[in-house]
Protein backbone atom coordinates (compact mmCIF):
# COMPACT_ATOMS: atom_id res chain seq x y z
CA UNK A 1 0.00 0.00 0.00
CA UNK A 2 2.81 2.41 0.90
CA UNK A 3 4.61 1.41 -2.29
CA UNK A 4 1.58 2.42 -4.41
CA UNK A 5 1.36 5.77 -2.61
CA UNK A 6 5.05 6.45 -3.26
CA UNK A 7 4.66 5.59 -6.96
CA UNK A 8 1.56 7.77 -7.24
CA UNK A 9 3.33 10.68 -5.54
CA UNK A 10 6.37 10.31 -7.82
CA UNK A 11 4.13 10.30 -10.89
CA UNK A 12 2.18 13.36 -9.76
CA UNK A 13 5.45 15.25 -9.26
CA UNK A 14 6.84 14.13 -12.62
CA UNK A 15 3.69 14.81 -14.68
CA UNK A 16 4.00 18.63 -14.81
CA UNK A 17 7.63 18.31 -15.93
CA UNK A 18 6.67 15.81 -18.61
CA UNK A 19 3.82 18.02 -19.80
CA UNK A 20 6.25 20.91 -20.37
CA UNK A 21 8.48 18.97 -22.76
CA UNK A 22 7.80 19.99 -26.34
CA UNK A 23 5.85 17.49 -28.43
CA UNK A 24 6.83 16.25 -31.82
CA UNK A 25 6.32 18.96 -34.44
CA UNK A 26 3.65 18.13 -36.98
CA UNK A 27 3.80 19.48 -40.51
CA UNK A 28 1.21 19.88 -43.25
CA UNK A 29 2.57 18.47 -46.49
CA UNK A 30 0.86 19.66 -49.68
CA UNK A 31 1.49 18.38 -53.18
CA UNK A 32 0.18 19.72 -56.48
CA UNK A 33 0.71 18.58 -60.06
CA UNK A 34 0.35 21.22 -62.78
CA UNK A 35 0.03 20.48 -66.52
CA UNK A 36 0.18 23.32 -69.04
CA UNK A 37 -0.31 25.89 -66.28
CA UNK A 38 -3.43 24.17 -64.87
CA UNK A 39 -3.43 22.42 -61.51
CA UNK A 40 -4.76 18.93 -62.24
CA UNK A 41 -4.37 17.31 -58.84
CA UNK A 42 -3.69 18.43 -55.31
CA UNK A 43 -3.39 16.42 -52.11
CA UNK A 44 -2.34 17.04 -48.53
CA UNK A 45 -1.36 15.01 -45.52
CA UNK A 46 0.31 15.46 -42.15
CA UNK A 47 3.83 14.25 -41.47
CA UNK A 48 5.92 13.88 -38.32
CA UNK A 49 9.67 13.84 -38.00
CA UNK A 50 11.12 10.34 -38.46
CA UNK A 51 7.81 9.01 -39.76
CA UNK A 52 6.62 8.24 -43.27
CA UNK A 53 3.51 9.73 -44.83
CA UNK A 54 1.59 8.93 -47.96
CA UNK A 55 -1.33 10.26 -49.96
CA UNK A 56 -3.00 9.57 -53.26
CA UNK A 57 -5.40 11.36 -55.56
CA UNK A 58 -7.18 10.40 -58.76
CA UNK A 59 -8.15 12.58 -61.68
CA UNK A 60 -9.24 11.65 -65.18
CA UNK A 61 -8.61 7.94 -64.58
CA UNK A 62 -5.03 8.59 -63.43
CA UNK A 63 -3.96 7.87 -59.85
CA UNK A 64 -1.11 9.86 -58.35
CA UNK A 65 0.64 8.23 -55.38
CA UNK A 66 2.84 10.26 -53.06
CA UNK A 67 5.18 8.94 -50.36
CA UNK A 68 7.42 11.05 -48.14
CA UNK A 69 9.69 10.83 -45.14
CA UNK A 70 10.90 13.63 -42.87
CA UNK A 71 14.10 13.30 -40.87
CA UNK A 72 16.84 15.32 -39.13
CA UNK A 73 19.93 16.16 -41.15
CA UNK A 74 22.89 14.39 -39.49
CA UNK A 75 25.21 16.40 -37.26
CA UNK A 76 23.10 19.52 -37.07
CA UNK A 77 22.40 19.57 -33.30
CA UNK A 78 19.38 21.05 -31.52
CA UNK A 79 18.71 23.74 -34.15
CA UNK A 80 18.51 20.98 -36.69
CA UNK A 81 17.68 21.21 -40.29
CA UNK A 82 15.15 18.72 -41.54
CA UNK A 83 15.13 16.95 -44.86
CA UNK A 84 12.02 15.84 -46.68
CA UNK A 85 12.44 13.09 -49.25
CA UNK A 86 9.46 12.33 -51.47
CA UNK A 87 8.45 10.09 -54.34
CA UNK A 88 5.60 10.78 -56.73
CA UNK A 89 4.26 8.32 -59.26
CA UNK A 90 1.41 8.34 -61.75
CA UNK A 91 0.11 4.79 -61.97
CA UNK A 92 3.24 2.69 -62.45
CA UNK A 93 5.27 5.60 -63.87
CA UNK A 94 7.73 7.40 -61.56
CA UNK A 95 7.41 11.18 -61.91
CA UNK A 96 9.83 12.75 -59.42
CA UNK A 97 11.82 12.26 -56.20
CA UNK A 98 12.39 15.74 -54.79
CA UNK A 99 14.42 16.44 -51.66
CA UNK A 100 13.94 19.53 -49.59
CA UNK A 101 16.18 20.69 -46.72
CA UNK A 102 14.80 23.37 -44.39
CA UNK A 103 14.98 24.67 -40.81
CA UNK A 104 12.85 22.95 -38.17
CA UNK A 105 9.65 24.90 -37.55
CA UNK A 106 9.84 26.83 -40.83
CA UNK A 107 7.81 26.66 -44.05
CA UNK A 108 9.50 25.52 -47.27
CA UNK A 109 8.56 24.69 -50.87
CA UNK A 110 10.08 23.15 -53.98
CA UNK A 111 9.03 22.80 -57.63
CA UNK A 112 10.27 20.02 -59.91
CA UNK A 113 9.41 19.31 -63.54
CA UNK A 114 9.46 16.03 -65.44
CA UNK A 115 9.91 15.02 -69.09
CA UNK A 116 6.16 15.03 -69.81
CA UNK A 117 5.83 18.68 -68.83
CA UNK A 118 4.21 18.06 -65.44
CA UNK A 119 5.29 20.45 -62.70
CA UNK A 120 5.33 19.09 -59.14
CA UNK A 121 4.95 21.62 -56.31
CA UNK A 122 5.59 20.43 -52.77
CA UNK A 123 5.06 22.64 -49.70
CA UNK A 124 5.67 21.81 -46.05
CA UNK A 125 4.26 24.02 -43.28
CA UNK A 126 4.50 23.58 -39.49
CA UNK A 127 1.18 23.03 -37.72
CA UNK A 128 0.85 25.14 -34.60
| Residues paired with residue 119 on neighbouring β-strands, in sequence order | 34, 113
pLDDT by residue (tens digit) across 21-55? Answer: 356 789 999 988 888 888 988 889 999 988 899 99
Of 27, 89, 100, nearest in space to 57 by CA: 89
The answer to the question of residue 4 being in a domain is no
The answer to the question of residue 73 being in a domain is yes
Give the count of domains, the chain.
1
Q: How many CB atoms lie within 10 A of CB 59?
A: 13
The answer to the question of residue 15 being in a domain is no
The answer to the question of residue 13 being in a domain is no
The answer to the question of residue 89 being in a domain is yes
Q: Is the pTM of this model over 0.85?
A: no
Band (68; pLDDT cuts 50, 70, 90): very high
Q: Is a pLDDT exceeding 70 seen at residue 104?
A: yes
The answer to the question of residue 8 being in a domain is no
**Dihedral angle over CA of 106, 27, 86, 30, nearest 10:** -100
Say how far apart CA 49 and CA 43 lie, in whole Å.
19
The answer to the question of residue 17 being in a domain is no
Q: How many CB atoms lie within 10 A of CB 29?
A: 21
Amino acid sequence: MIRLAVIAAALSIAMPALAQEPGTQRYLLELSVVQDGVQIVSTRTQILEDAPASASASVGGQTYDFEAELFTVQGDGDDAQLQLEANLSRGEQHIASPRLTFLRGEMAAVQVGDQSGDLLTMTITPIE
